[in-house]
Chain A
Amino acid sequence: MRIPAKAGASGWLALYLNEVPAFAGTRNGNLKMRYLPLTDTDRTAMLAKIGAASVDDLFVDVPAVARLDGPISDLPMHASEMAVERHMQKLAAKNMVAGEVPFFLGAGAYRHHVPASVDAIIQRGEFLTAYTPYQPEIAQGTLQMLFEFQTQVARLYGCVVANASMYDGSTACWEAVAMATRVTRRSRAVLSGALHPHYAGVVRTMAKFTGDTIADALPAIQPEPDLEGLIARIDDDTACVVVQYPDILGRISDLAPVAEAAHARGALLVVVNTEPVALGACKSPGEMGADIVVGEGQSLGVGLQFGGPYLGLFAVRDPKHVRQMPGRLCGETQDAEGKRGFVLTLSTREQHIRREKATSNICTNSGLCALAFSVHMTLLGEAGLRQLAAENHRLACLAADRLARVPGVRVLNSAFFNEFTLILEGKPAREIVRDLADRSVLGGVSLGRLYGGIAALEHALLVAVTETTTEEDIERLACELEEAIK
């Protein structure tokens, strides 16, 4: 028996037939599409070879009930490049561009300067229009790049092996939990309260279906993370403890005690990092004893892009865990003449071979974003990454000191890298953020936006500062904040 849901129960139903999209294509004339090379003469000759009278004869297996007479009637017809570009430009113009205003948003997505050569390289057709490297003899470019990328990520994270990327940090976080349950054969994950709430949300969603137990919490608004409380939640059924570093409030603290406590109970420590630039200044998760390190790589090379595509990073500290890793892995080998070459390897973990026994169902990764990350990291190098991190931290300290002088504003963190939490007196931070936006300042991310409806968090504002922030931007934020908070 099929019981249809009540129509309109979801916002999605309202989406259909909203309106004809606000765009008029060219309705008249013969179709001569700039992307379709076949001519009518070609089509006729090809049909003759096939032995079909018309193209519709090739669709005879479609049941009559589903056959359409002509183009779908409630959509516009084809349009010129110029008309399409104009339409899309109008939509783009409705957004406030981060680079055009004082900008302080972070919370898992950071605005950094991306060198011009990064985009030039990723737009080379040999990278842009290649597929997953299934034919390694003609995909060494992608494969060698992935091998270099894996090495960069492993070293940044203080690990030994990294994979060829995942969708984004939040899905990598879930994959780490799933991997920990495979390694430990336990099914309970303890999440730090200071894990990004959207990451925790993804883990909760997935666990609901796999039957794993998730112990989570809200962040405690205090200068330092409550690691003792976290350790107290680890028990003998715990597969892993998941801690963010720097955490959602921008705090940093030594995670070695958490690693020790987890290991003592037979659990793994999963560390989540959403700002890779921080690891140019701060001790790596691997050095503190993390077993699996995952994160978001968007900061380097990828850009903000309204949330995607981003770049999931995934690494392990112990080589014996490699066969339990999800995602693609690139490995070194030799060709028949003895030359060094690279291939995708250990693919028996993956869905196309193991089918229902695979370590993960993922197929695509984030290849082009991995290239962008790797090129940016190559341009930085060790020296550049350290300078970049130092500059981020210097400006963040400057901003924290200046904003602390705004009446009614207090800096929560005792330690931070390039993002910290302000506690605002009076109005909820969410209102202040909207007010600041009206003054053309993108002033931060309110915890109210991230944890809607939780009163204890609503006066907290996350402020991120990067090398793209100027001292004038900081002064402008301080002045506007002072006005907005009144």
Chain B
Amino acid sequence: MNAPNQSGWKPAMIASKDGMHNGPATTTGNRALMLEEPLLFEIGRADVTGVDLPAVDAAGPTRLAGLTRPEPIGLVGLTEPETVRHYTRLSRQNYGIDLGFFPLGSCTMKHNPRLNEKVARLPGFADVHPLAPQSTVQGALEVISQLGEWLCRLTGMPAVAMSPKAGAHGELCGILAIRAAHEARGDAREVVLVPESAHGTNPATAAFANYRVEDIPATPEGRVDVAALKARLGPDVAAVMITNPNTCGLFEKDFREIADAVHAAGGYVYCDGANFNAIVGKVRPGDLGVDAMHINLHKTFSTPHGGGGPGSGPVVLSEALAPFAPLPFVRKQADGTFYLVEEEHREERGPSFGRMTAFHGQMGMFTRALTYMLSHGADGLKQVAEDAVLNANYILRSMEDILHAPFAASGPCMHEALFGDKDFTGGLSTLDVAKGLIDEGYHPMTVYFPLVVHGAMLVEPTETESKAAIDQFITAFRAVVERALAGDEALKQAPYYAPRRRLDETAAARKPRLAFEG
């Protein structure tokens, strides 16, 4: 067993559970490095600014047609030192991958290499306008083209649409291409089949495209029920959306058989690529019969999550769906130059279903993802998948003796291990374990997803953790789980040591306060 801490500290050093807090109260409410920070609107002032600009010349020219804004806008400013301090203090109330292990299942919180950040900030990428004459942005178009090339080869697919802005936008792209393909041949299909364990975006996307969503059940071993799916196929089924590896952390081993059956029934196969990190460089979805799959560049290809985006969701497409891909797209001419195919290219755009976003996609993410791919290469990416899967299986097998692992008998997991709260006592739940892990210095795993497992805990370590870091996490995770199994009441109040105790989400939702008033 790993030492819980190498500093010389031992658990016995705390006299009581709340022992660390038994010092005297402070006047400020701060506790040394744990600093409270007021709201911007409580410290900023309307007449303060942190930038140097010429004073407003009241007698200056105006061509505003009298539409001036004399009333106060209600904004406040801070000088630069105050601004830097405000946001630095806020940042310290956040958990990030840079700070520690972040095993958030289905989200692939891997290290974000800093070379990627440096490259994205090169003026030749960062300071380029999307509508600049194309002769002046050949390098930018080449980045899109090269990244597309990598994505096609890594997935074994013939085409890719680069413009979707995030995973859910990519899903929409794939489903719209499927709808357009059916419509192009006058085939009015109405139903999209989605497994119960799917990400919520899958049914939301299908419903948006005016499809009726029907659930497909799962087998007891955590995979799609192939017999039930086949029985449901027919002339009204437009597509099946399957996540592979699935959200139970398992590879859908009958995927090829499913795809063949869907194709035979005239439908298309959408694969949710959120979990591509488990198989990148190791398995090509094109070899499994996929027609469309989005790739979250912010997961598998390490572009930073940024506290909730921006993401990027290119979609690889089969030959059948490629003609319907959205505008614009990059083409290469015989002379080696690149250009964008847009609305005006009536011949080349073919039956494209149209435009999904104002410009060409998430360029700032493309440069980062391409940098990441070049760094790893085909061999490194294969190692990424292998290490990610190895780490997850190691956690699965290190926990299954004390924590309910509903699919542990189904064989190896892929890049994430799924557990349930079945054996907790004393009214303790998955939420309590998550909050207990916060006190131990970890970001919790994904909780209550997928819905098919009661009190689900989905642990995704990724490949960028060392064995020592994983061992230490296992030590902490086991300790918290033991408390939940024993019905330790104190766990219900966790976290004790985070910047905030549990927050009242009911009050927040009943009387929403969504902006500062005053």
Contacts and interface: CB of A to CB of B under 8 A. Distances in A.
Interface string B240-257: 000000000011010110
Interface stretch (B5-13, B226-234, B308-316, B481-489): B308-316
B496 to A, nearest CB: 10
A209 B93 contact: no
Interface in B43-91: 44-51, 53-57, 60-69, 71-78, 80, 83-84, 86-88, 90-91
Contacts of B319: 4-5, 7, 13
B185 interface: yes
A283 B502 contact: no
Interface in A54-98: 55, 57-63, 65-68, 70-79, 81, 83-85, 87-98
Interface residues of B, number: 237
Contacts of B167: 363-364
A137 B67 contact: no
A430 to B, nearest CB: 9
B515 A150 contact: yes
A138 B516 contact: no
B63 A400 contact: yes
B125 A306 contact: yes
Contact of B39 (A142, A147, A305, A434): A147
A260 interface: no
B377 A382 contact: no
Given A330-B514, A346-B512, A355-B203, A92 B495 contact: no
Contact of B152 (A16, A58, A111): A16
B271 interface: no
Contact of B97 (A129, A333, A355): A129
B191 to A, nearest CB: 12
B1 interface: no
Contacts, number: 806
A309 B361 CA distance: 7
A135 B353 CA distance: 39
B204 A381 contact: no
A289 interface: no
A120 B204 contact: no
A416 B176 CA distance: 38
A144 B325 contact: no
B66 to A, nearest CB: 8
Nearest to B497: A137
B185 A3 contact: yes
A36 B75 contact: no
A76 B377 contact: yes
Given A115-B51, A169-B358, A452-B343, A129 B394 contact: no
Interface string B456-489: 0000000111110100000000000000000000
Most buried by A among B104, B357, B435: B357
Interface stretch (A232-240, A261-269, A383-391, A470-478): A383-391
Contacts of B370: 88
B509 interface: yes
A308 B200 contact: no
B322 interface: yes
B109 A131 contact: yes
B119 interface: yes
A283 B67 contact: yes
Interface in B275-313: 279, 281-284, 287-288, 298, 304-312
B159 A10 contact: yes
A137 B502 contact: yes
B259 to A, nearest CB: 11
A231 B76 CA distance: 37
B427 interface: no
B96 interface: yes
B326 interface: yes
Contact of B362 (A59, A137, A308, A362): A308
Interface string A203-240: 01100111100000000000000000000000000000
A75 B357 contact: no
Nearest to B154: A72
Interface in A80-139: 81, 83-85, 87-100, 103, 105, 107-109, 111, 115, 117, 119-139
Given A11-B329, A391-B54, A202 B179 contact: no
B92 A141 contact: yes
Most buried by A among B104, B256, B319: B319
B387 to A, nearest CB: 5
A184 interface: no
Contacts of B169: 167, 171, 362
B83 A77 contact: no
A2 B264 CA distance: 7
B31 interface: no
Contacts of B433: none
B75 A156 contact: yes
Contacts of A67: 283
B75 A155 contact: yes
A365 B167 CA distance: 11
B393 A50 contact: yes
A328 B308 contact: yes
Given A15-B145, A72-B378, A437 B136 contact: yes
B16 interface: no
18 contacts: A9-B323, A46-B467, A49-B398, A63-B253, A67-B283, A138-B93, A138-B443, A152-B75, A204-B355, A205-B356, A209-B179, A254-B66, A282-B69, A307-B360, A329-B512, A331-B509, A369-B309, A390-B56
For the complex of A and B, the 7 pairs showing the least CB-CB separation, nearest first, are: A381-B77, A452-B344, A307-B359, A92-B124, A125-B98, A368-B306, A94-B139
